[in-house]
Amino acid sequence: MEPKQPNESQILADVAELRDRFSHTQTLYKEVAALLFFRYGVTPTANKLYQLVRKGSMSAPAQALQTFWEELRDKSRVRLDVADMPEELQALTGELLARIWQEALSHSKQQMEHYQIQADERVAQAQAQTRQAQSELEAGQGDLKRAQAQIAQYHDNLQRAGQEQAALKQDLLHANQRQNELEIEKQGLQQELRRQSEQFTLDLERLQKAIELTEERAQANERRALLEIDKERSIQTRLRQHIEEAEQTNKALRQAHEQELNQQQDLLQKLRQELGQEQGERRALQAALDISHSLAKEIQGQVQILRTRTALLERENDELRKKAQLLSQELKQAQSQPVRSLRLKRRLIKSDSEK
C-alpha cells in the first residue's frame, strides 16, 4: 500500500474535524499525530503539530508526540539497539520500521499466491523507502536537535513568563489590596464629606441667622443713631438759643449798668454844683452846709458802691462772654465730632444749672 501524497488543505480539513471531536488538548495532539503518520505518511513533529492545532503551550505537542511514539512502540514491539544512536532516534526508527514491516507483511499474506513477483518488488521498494526513511531520519535528527534547542528556549521563556506572571500576580495582589484600601479611604472621605456638608449647612444657617440678627441690630443702631443725631441737633438748637439769650441779657445788663452809672455821674455833678453854691452861701447856710457835706459823703459812699457793683458786673460780663465763646467752640466741635455730644450735653446741663 503506497502512502498518499500529503495535501495541506485536506490535512487542515481533517485536523478541523478532529478538533470538533476531541476537546482535550493532549488527545487532540495524539490524534493529529496519528493522522499525519498513518494516513498521510508524514512524520509528525512538535512544530508541525503546533502549527496545525495551535492550542496550549509549546510543551503540549512535544508531550503528546512523546506519548504517541511510546504507545506506537509498545504496540509494534519493535526495538532497535544500535550503538551510539540516541534513544529518540532509535524510537523513531523502530516505529517507522515496525509500520513498514507490518504493512509489508500484511500485504504479502493477502497476495502471496497471486502477487509473489509484486511482493519481491514491494520488498525492494520497501528497502528503498527504508533508505529514504533513513535519510529522512537523519534529517529529522537535525530537526530534532533544533527542536530540542527550541524546546529548551521555550522552556526558558516559559520559566521567565512564569516568573513574570508570578510578579504580575504579586503586583495584582498589591493593586487589589491598594484598591481595597483606597475604597475604604474613599468611603471614609465620603462620610467625612457628608459630615462636613451637613456641618457646613448648619453653619451656613447659623451664619444667615447671625447676619439677619446683625442687620436687625444695625438697623436698630441706625435708628438710635438717627434719634441721637436729632437729639444732638435739638440740644445744639437750644444751646444756640441759650447763647443768644445770654448775649442779649448781658447786653441789656451792660446797657442798664451804663445808664445807671450815667445817672449817678449826672447826680454827682449836680450835687457838686449845689455844693459849690452852698459854699458861696457858707456863712448864711452853715447848717445847710453841714447837712450837704454829710449828704455828699453819703452820696460818695453810694457812688463807690455803684462803682464796685459796676466792676463786679463787668467781671461777670467778661465771664459770661468767655463762657459764651467756650460754648460756641464746643458747639463747633460737637458739629464736627458727634461722639462728643454727651460731654456737650453735660456742659449744657451744668451751664443751665449755673444760670
Query: pLDDT tens-digit profile of 320-343?
Result: 888 888 888 887 877 776 545 556
CB-neighbour burial class of residue 133 (10 A; exposed 0-12, middle 13-18, buried 19+): buried
Q: How confident is the model at residue 350 (pLDDT cuts 50, 70, 90)?
A: low
Beta-carbon neighbour count of residue 240 at 10 Å?
13
pLDDT at residue 79 in the model: 53
Whether 248 has a pLDDT exceeding 50, the answer reads yes
Phi first, then psi: give them for residue 26, nearest 5 degrees.
Answer: -65, -40
Range picked from 24-28, 236-240, 245-249 for highest mean pLDDT: 24-28
Whether 108 has a pLDDT exceeding 70, the answer reads no
Whether 206 has a pLDDT exceeding 80, the answer reads yes
Whose cell is 453653619? That residue is: 203
More confident residue, 229 or 127: 229
What percent of the chain has pLDDT above 70? Answer: 78
pLDDT at residue 330 in the model: 80
Q: Biggest alpha carbon distance in the chain?
A: 228
Say if residues 146 and 140 touch (Cβ distance below 8 Å): no
More confident residue, 208 or 6: 208
pLDDT per residue over 59-81, tens digit each?
Answer: 899 999 999 998 887 776 555 55
Length of the chain: 355
Q: How confident is the model at residue 90 (pLDDT cuts 50, 70, 90)?
A: low
Ranges of H-type helices in 281-340: 286-336
Supply the pTM of this predicted model. 0.26
Whose cell is 451744668? That residue is: 350
**Nearest by Cα to 59 from 162, 151, 189, 174:** 151
Q: Could you give the angle at the alpha carbon of 218 between the alpha carbons of 216 and 219, nearest 5°?
A: 65
Whether 44 has a pLDDT exceeding 80, the answer reads yes
Q: How confident is the model at residue 104 (pLDDT cuts 50, 70, 90)?
A: very low
> Which residues have a Cβ under 8 Å from the Cβ of 274 and sit 6 or more positions away?
292
Strand, helix or coil for residue 10: helix
Quick one: CA dihedral 311, 316, 322, 325, positive or negative?
negative
pLDDT at residue 224 in the model: 87
